[in-house]
Structure 1
Amino acid sequence: MNNKVPLTVRGAEQLRAELQKLKSVERPRVVAAIAEARAHGDLKENAEYHAAREQQGFIEGRIQEVEAKLSNAQVIDVTKLNAGGKVVFGATVDLVDVSTDEEITYQIVGDDEADIKSGLISVSSPVARALIGKMEGDEAVVQAPGGTREYEILAVRYV
């Protein structure tokens, strides 16, 4: 079973920064909150203590999750790809919706990096799956929840 998580260089840097913040800022803050709440006495009815412990659990869980993703990461530097104009992971694709003539630009990124408002779509999304392997000038048919959409690929960039 291949459990490699594809990430762009920027996505890997964002995960490393989040991990650093969790370990150096969030974890010590929660430990201090637990110590302070503990000083208030009776732990059975101490809401601050229970809230801090719960938050500590979330932080520790997220640290483990981020560490696992980074250890399984397959970091792909898009600028060094020579895919010959083909849509691949990390590529930035300029599209035009065939029915509305609306132009859109997407970059295909890992699941954790996806942010549709920023034009970053997950490699596992219907649009990305329809685009991967296609070339400039090709048409891609996307089976979206709202129906079938047809896009023409205007340009493929590796930036």
Structure 2
Amino acid sequence: MTETRDDNVTWLTQEAYDRLKGELEHLSGPGRTEIADRIEAAREEGDLRENGGYHAAKEEQGKIEARILQLRQILNNARVGEAPRSSGTVSPGMTVTIRFEGDDEEAVYLLASREESGAPIDVISPKSPLGAAINGKRVGETASYPLPRGGEASVEIIEAVPYGGD
């Protein structure tokens, strides 16, 4: 089933898609085999109640299976390439320049999935408080978002342009 709603689509560069696909292939094949071998070796050591190696391997197996499910979900909802957008409106895949209220300094971020964390600039998730607040805003508008310890912060959108990968 293909999702077409933008809320469920994860826009990825080809590089990020290939990296995640490679991780999924490794975990689904050699990764599963390796952990199964470790579990079997630990099982042969005897009493499972007091076998730390067995319990550690089982925990690792659970983490691998959870990551496999996460990767499948990301890749099933992924679109490779540029998200449909235009300069001037903040959306995922945009380089956004903002100014925090009361600060003269500007900050530049890429609004993108955390899977794009290999980008050479700081990445803000569209699902984070700041990312959600600025998503959809236009240049010149102000966005407010909740702070972790209470209160709010405001930012002004200075610029929003498609990310060029530089």
TM-score by length of 1: 0.75
**Do the aligned residues in 2 keep the contact of 1:113 with 1:122 (CA within 8 Å)?**
no
> Which runs of 5 or more structure 2 residues have no equivalent in the other structure?
none
Cα displacement (A) at 1:128: 2.2
Matches within 5 A, 1:123-138: 123-136=126-139, 138=140
Which ranges in structure 1 are unaligned for 5 or more consecutive residues? none
* Residue 50 of structure 1, aligned match among 23, 38, 55: 55
- The 8 Å contact of residues 87 and 160 in structure 2, kept in 1 or not, is answered as no
Letter in 1 for 2:146: A
Amino acid of the structure 2 residue aligned with 1:91: M
Residue 112 of structure 1, CA deviation: 5.2
Partner AA of 2:95 in structure 1: T
Q: TM-score, normalised by structure 2?
A: 0.73
Is the contact between residue 86 and residue 156 of structure 1 (CA under 8 Å) also seen in structure 2? yes
Aligned length: 155
Residue aligned with 1:7, SS = strand
Taking only aligned residues, the RMSD between alpha carbons, in angstroms, comes to 3.0
**Match of residue 38, structure 1, among 1, 24, 43:** 43
Runs of 4 or more, structure 1, over 3 Å off, are 10-14, 41-45, 111-115
Alignment deviations for residues 11-39 of structure 1 (CA, whole Å, 9 cap, x no partner) = 53443233233234432321221222233
Once the two structures are aligned, what percentage of the paired residues are identical? 31
